[in-house]
Amino acid sequence: MHVSALLPLAALVPATLCQLNTLAKAKGLKYFGSATDNGELSDTTYVSILSNTGQFGQITPGNTQKWVYTEPTQNTFSWTQGDVITSFAEGNGQLLRCHNLVWHNELPSWITSGTWTNATLIAALKNHIANEVTHYKGQCYAWDVVNEAFNDDGTYRVDVFYTTIGPEYIPIAFETAALYDSTVKLYYNDYNIESAGAKSTAAQNLVSSLKARSIKIDGVGLQAHFIVGPTPSLSSQISNLKSFTALGVEVAYTELDIRFTSLPPTAAGLTQQGTDYANTVSACVETTGCVGVTVWDFTDKYSWVPSTFSGQGEACLWYSDFTLHPAYYSVVSALGGTAATTTLVTSRTTSSATATTTTASGTVAKWGQCGGIGWTGGTVCVAGTTCTYSNAWYSQCL
């Protein structure tokens, strides 16, 4: 386990006692959601949490709606993998943020290595968007139409679309998406636009330029891949969000995680992570026109961070073993919730601590601990759950 005696009691409370999406909607947001990916849906513990609409009211497909999956060869489309995620969300009654139509990354080789003219690449771009938007029409709350088009200094990112078509590829993408689904929300999505600076200004200028041409753009997604400590302050995030909503678009935090740059985290670091998460969620709650928060997967078990930033991680609200970061309860507090009272069990040989909850009959509730070396609490799980081994120190009613 990742918990220790240094952690606050609140970090150890079973996840069923607080409901992020329920709390978010009570605060006026449309959703609290999570990204997911196809391979993760074979993990039954993971799925049982992700399917809980009290926790997550919205789903984003992490990868399988991207170009390399949906049009791997020119004009040959494959929706199978993307449909797995969309069907999952639909079956649970969860909103779907569709992600994404145009990005410089995860492109098939026929795009990146092709020989293009302005006209032929525009035709391929329009054809791709037309087919994908048509296939998912009626299923998506929003589309991330264009993803990460700017460098941090506010200049355009150089990729095959910019090099061949120029900046006009962005208006073309939005116009085409609107042509094939006039009701879905159309978003520009990017990272490092969460506080004032050249890149945020460039994104605002893009919104203004599209609106000036009467091209449909409904929202801006702020990815919010943050680092513990340097995460923008609450006031700076609110001010920045308002600079977008003042342009007549809605905003959302679309890919939130807050990573440690060195592991394991200290107790002070965990406290700071909680503050950082709370500030971002609070910024959305306190900004009229901010519609929701999506974490970029909810558990460290499937986080993208360790494979991308060597030696970094533990960026999510759940640890890899599905116990909770203290930051989870910081988010609960930011959404107006409170932690339930539980019993803390201490004195392990590993100096770790675990909380559990028992029902009135003395059985252990779902998500509670039911076994492990040194465990002295209940071992009989509530009906419908089984005491499931996680590691030598921890078994949980699932």
pLDDT digits (tens, 9 = 90+) for 152-192: 999 999 999 999 999 999 999 999 999 999 999 999 999 99
Q: What is the pLDDT of residue 375?
A: 54
Q: Over the stretch 353-387, which tens digit does the pLDDT of each residue have?
A: 333 444 445 677 665 666 654 456 678 888 878 88
Catalytic residues: 148, 255
Count of residues making up the chain? 398
Query: 170-209 in b/e burial notation, b at 16+ Cβ within 10 A?
Result: bbbbbbbbbebbeebbbbbbbbbbbbeeebbebbbebbee
- Which of the residue ranges 13-17, 134-138, 178-182, 321-325 would you say has the lowest mean pLDDT? 13-17
Q: What is the pLDDT of residue 380?
A: 87
Q: Give the C-alpha separation, 80 to 83, whole Å.
A: 5
User: In the predicted model, is pLDDT for residue 246 greater than 90?
Assistant: yes
Strand partners, 253: 222, 293
Residue 195, amino acid: S
Identify the structural domains of the chain with CATH numbers, from first to last: 20-335 (3.20.20.80), 368-397 (no CATH)
User: In the predicted model, is pLDDT for residue 130 greater than 80?
Assistant: yes
Q: What is the pLDDT of residue 308?
A: 96
Q: What percent of the chain has pLDDT over 90?
A: 80
Q: What is the pLDDT of residue 368?
A: 65
Q: Over the stretch 82-110, which tens digit does the pLDDT of each residue have?
A: 999 999 999 999 999 999 999 999 999 99
Q: Over the stretch 281-318, which tens digit does the pLDDT of each residue have?
A: 999 999 999 999 999 999 999 999 999 999 999 999 99
Q: What is the pLDDT of residue 381?
A: 83
Q: What is the pLDDT of residue 363?
A: 78
Q: Give the C-alpha separation, 172 to 176, whole Å.
A: 6
